[in-house]
């Protein structure tokens, strides 16, 4: 058997459940197998992996897998030479060590650094030796919420398993024990309808080709996805239309079919009276269909879907899918027509019957809080108070509508349509939709003042309220999406000149009757600050250096909107090698001030300046520091950092020739006052010591 070859593992199952499992199970299994067999992988190149996922199978194909792992040499340390021999006779301690390493004579041991050492060679294991445990472990670690049992309760997995194909090159890897009641074989099964009987796989390398030609399925997930995507685009172009993309839908459809065939259908144009978001969601969520748009991005009555078989008479399949979709869309139209008969405010009153949280009251109580907070925020964003209060009253109303009850994903969207139907202004209708913005990482931000106001109100109320009752995110658990809310707050505040602590304090006052943790505002502020750090250092929009972002975060900034421009200038300042002296000196000043907390009025007395270097430094500080501080406070960062750069040589000369801790207490205090003034000037809105 050739030592290095391709390893194929395919696990054939009953139909796997469709909820968020398909691609995840393939990727997770592949990674788990890699981790378990890492000593067998001669080339650790993940890009060459092939992930196998279909509705009835999962597995992987790994290239350059050794059949026998390399021998490993181990050096074991024994007892000290000085205490291990009585003359030429080994002591019991040395004899015990010799037995443990299977050496009969102590002269066969090596002596180094005063100790005995033994070299041993561990012979490499074969795939046969380790694959049983590797498979069992990899399967147990899969992200499966709930298993089922079969075979007299002897076996447990998400679905019963029927076949285990394991090949290394052309050879079956014989397992040392059964896995899920199966032994390894060299055959598998193809499409339930288009293929007949077992298919013997010639080699791991021929698996994909054989299963495609004989089994009539495309086993590799990514290859099947690319084919479906290509066919969808081509079919849409043939109709003169464009595919409406929904995140995750292509992956889900890819996982539902083994032998994909893209077909098209249409529905009655009367359904286009329903908001397009409802129709698109109904098609995608319930039927896994792809909506089609015209050149103006307007929804049409045509759609595409992916069948699991290329039928000789596709019209039969198309007609069946059109009938099912018509029933779904009829439901959506019914919900929409029923909801339009009511005023949006009527739905708000129904929120009294919906519990938000037992410690925070009903959703209607929450709406009253949102109104309170929105009124307090109104002046900050130049929005009329009555408009802010009215919008806050309506923005959660659609939660009790029939349409949102059926499609929770379009809350806010339906509120906008119902608001317009009730005669509300476009501004208020848009704000009702956009108060959820940004809904996810990279999503658009609210566009106008009213939308910005209610988006902040909604997120801050959630964050302060849930945090204040002790439901703080831990690890990967964040059931109330507080991380997402705080990231949304960060993104909005980065483009709006608002004080974050002021907003938090106003929000906290709306909960005075709920007995929140009194430290909530400070704790939430630090939580937001951590999201700010993460976003500025590792998002698709920003990638500033950690040290520069931390330099600003260390000052507890209140106005986030000035930070990106400041970071650009600060990063340039920090990268200039000529500025390292002042950055280092700043750290030195910080350490001196920390260690010498002395009572002083910080008034610098010129008559106590006796050294030339300190006189020159003081003269520069006295004449220019006020202007430099003014530059920083006005956001004139170029002039601010240029001003600091002019202190480079003066500060270096000061520390080279002046003893700060002079024996004369008055002189010492005076020099400390000078350093204190310099430190304040050099650390406005950024802490330079974080750069050192």
The Cα–Cα gap between 519 and 523 comes to 6
Q: How far apart are CA 147 and CA 640, in angstroms?
A: 63
What is the reported pLDDT for 45? Answer: 57
Q: What is the CATH number of domain 345-543?
A: 1.10.3210
Q: Write the pLDDT tens digit of every residue in 33-89.
A: 998 888 777 655 555 789 999 999 999 999 888 888 766 677 888 888 888 888 888
Structural tokens at position 140: 């147990």
Q: What angle do CA 83, 89, 92 make, to 5 degrees?
A: 60
User: Nearest 5°: phi and psi at 62?
Assistant: -115, 130
Cβ atoms of 265 and 305 within 8 Å: the answer is: yes
Range with the largest mean pLDDT of 100-104, 154-158, 397-401: 397-401
Asked if residues 158 and 17 have their Cβ atoms less than 8 Å apart, the reply is yes
Distance CA 410, CA 275 (A): 10
The pLDDT of residue 47 is: 59
Determine the pLDDT at residue 42. 65
Residue 131 has pLDDT above 70, yes or no: yes
Locate 32 and state its tokens.
Answer: 């788990």
- In this predicted structure, the answer to whether residue 629 has a pLDDT above a threshold of 90 is yes
d(CA 202, CA 204): 7
Structural tokens at position 566: 């400041």
Tell me the three state secondary structure of residue 291.
Answer: strand
**Tokens standing for residue 60:** 């992987």
The CA-based dihedral angle spanning residues 624, 628, 633, 635, taken in that order and rounded to the nearest 10 degrees: 150
Q: CB of 586 within 8 A of CB of 641? A: no
d(CA 581, CA 577): 8
Region of residue 371 (left: phi > 0; alpha: psi -120 to 50; beta: else)? alpha
Cis peptide bond N-terminal to 138, omega within 30: no
Reported as a pLDDT band with limits 50, 70 and 90, residue 7 is: very high
pLDDT score of 153 more than 80: no
With 0-12 / 13-18 / 19 or more C-beta atoms within 10 angstroms meaning exposed / middle / buried, residue 454 is: buried
Label residue 314 exposed, middle or buried (CB < 10 Å: 0-12, 13-18, 19+).
middle
- pLDDT tens track for 311-366: 888 999 999 999 999 999 999 999 999 999 999 999 999 999 999 999 999 999 99
| Residue of 118, 109, 106, 114 whose CA lies nearest to 77 | 118
The pTM assigned to this predicted structure is 0.78
Q: How confident is the model at residue 111 (pLDDT cuts 50, 70, 90)?
A: confident
Asked if 460 and 397 touch (Cβ cutoff 8 Å), the reply is no
579 has a pLDDT exceeding 70 = yes
CA 15 to chain centre: 30
Q: Rounded to a whole number, what is the largest CA-CA distance in the chain?
A: 105
pLDDT band of residue 598 (cuts 50, 70, 90) is low
Q: Say how many Å lie between the first and final Cα of the chain, rounded.
A: 58
Between the CA of residue 131 and those of 55, 60, 127, 134, 139, what are the distances in Å?
A: 25, 14, 5, 5, 12
pLDDT band at residue 275, thresholds of 50, 70 and 90? very high
Q: Is 371 helix (H, G, I), strand (E, B) or coil?
A: helix
SS (H, E, C) 631-688: HHHCCCHHHHHHHHHCCHHHHHHHHHHCCCCCCCHHHHHHHHHHHHHHHHHHCCCCCH
pLDDT at 307 over 70: yes
Closest CA to 129 of 80, 66, 64, 68: 68
């Amino acid at each position: 058997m050739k030592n290095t070859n391709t390893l194929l593992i395919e696990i054939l199952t009953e139909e796997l459940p469709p909820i968020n499992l398909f691609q995840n199970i393939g990727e997770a299994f592949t990674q788990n197998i890699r981790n378990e067999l890492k000593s067998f992988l001669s080339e650790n190149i993940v890009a060459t992996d092939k992930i196998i996922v279909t509705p009835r199978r999962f597995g992987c194909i790994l290239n350059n897998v050794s059949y026998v792992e390399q021998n490993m040499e181990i050096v074991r340390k024994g007892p000290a030479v000085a205490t291990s021999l009585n003359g030429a006779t080994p002591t019991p301690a040395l004899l015990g060590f010799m037995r443990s390493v299977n050496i009969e004579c102590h002269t066969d041991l090596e002596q180094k650094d005063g100790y005995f050492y033994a070299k041993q060679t561990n012979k490499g294991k074969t795939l046969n030796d380790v694959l049983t445990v590797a498979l069992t472990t990899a399967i147990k670690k899969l992200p499966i919420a709930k298993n089922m049992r079969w075979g007299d309760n002897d076996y447990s997995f998400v679905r019963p398993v029927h076949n285990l194909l394991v090949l290394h090159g052309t050879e079956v890897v014989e397992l040392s024990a059964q896995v899920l009641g199966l032994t390894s074989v060299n055959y598998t099964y193809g499409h339930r309808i288009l293929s007949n009987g077992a298919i013997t796989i010639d080699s791991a390398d021929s698996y994909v080709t054989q299963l495609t030609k004989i089994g009539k399925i495309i086993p590799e997930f990514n290859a099947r996805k690319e084919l479906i995507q290509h066919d969808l685009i081509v079919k849409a172009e043939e109709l003169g239309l464009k595919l409406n993309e929904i995140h995750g839908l292509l992956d889900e459809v890819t996982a539902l079919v083994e032998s994909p065939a893209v077909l098209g259908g249409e529905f009655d144009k009367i359904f286009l009276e329903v908001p397009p978001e409802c129709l698109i969601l109904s098609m995608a969520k319930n039927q896994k269909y792809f909506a089609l748009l015209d050149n103006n991005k307007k929804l049409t009555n045509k759609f595409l879907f992916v069948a699991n078989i290329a039928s000789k008479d596709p019209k039969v399949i198309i007609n069946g899918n059109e009938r099912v979709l018509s029933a779904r869309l009829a439901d959506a139209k019914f919900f929409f027509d029923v909801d339009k008969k009511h005023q949006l405010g009527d739905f708000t009153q129904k929120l009294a019957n919906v519990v938000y949280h037992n410690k925070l009251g009903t959703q209607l109580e929450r709406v009253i809080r949102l109104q309170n907070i929105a009124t307090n925020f109104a002046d900050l964003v130049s929005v009329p108070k009555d408009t802010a209060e009215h919008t806050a009253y309506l923005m959660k109303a659609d939660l009790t509508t029939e349409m949102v009850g059926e499609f929770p994903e379009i809350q806010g969207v339906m509120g906008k349509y119902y608001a317009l139907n009730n005669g509300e202004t476009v501004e208020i209708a848009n704000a009702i939709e956009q108060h959820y913005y940004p809904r996810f990482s990279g999503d658009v931000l609210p566009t106008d003042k009213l939308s910005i106001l209610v988006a902040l109100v909604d997120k801050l109320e959630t964050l302060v309220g849930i945090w204040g009752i002790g439901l703080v995110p831990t690890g990967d658990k964040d059931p109330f999406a507080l991380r997402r809310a705080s990231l949304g707050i960060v993104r909005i505040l980065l483009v709006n000149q608002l004080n974050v602590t002021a907003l938090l304090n106003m929000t906290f006052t709306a909960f005075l009757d709920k007995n929140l943790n009194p430290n909530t505002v400070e704790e939430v502020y630090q939580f937001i600050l951590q999201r700010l750090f993460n976003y500025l250092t590792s998002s698709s929009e920003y990638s500033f250096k950690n040290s520069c972002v931390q330099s600003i975060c260390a000052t507890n900034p209140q106005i986030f909107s000035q930070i990106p421009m400041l970071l650009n200038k600060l990063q340039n300042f920090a990268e200039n090698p000529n500025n390292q002296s002042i950055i280092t000196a700043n750290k030195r000043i910080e350490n001196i001030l920390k260690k010498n907390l002395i009572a002083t009025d910080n008034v610098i007395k010129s008559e106590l300046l006796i050294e030339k270097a300190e006189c020159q430094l003081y003269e520069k500080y006295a004449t220019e520091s006020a202007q430099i501080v003014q530059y920083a406070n006005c956001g004139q960062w170029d002039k601010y950092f240029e001003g600091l750069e002019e202190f480079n040589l003066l500060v270096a000369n000061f520390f080279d020739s002046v003893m700060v801790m002079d024996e004369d207490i008055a002189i010492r205090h005076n020099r400390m006052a000078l350093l204190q003034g310099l430190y304040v000037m050099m650390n406005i809105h950024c802490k330079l010591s974080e750069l050192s």
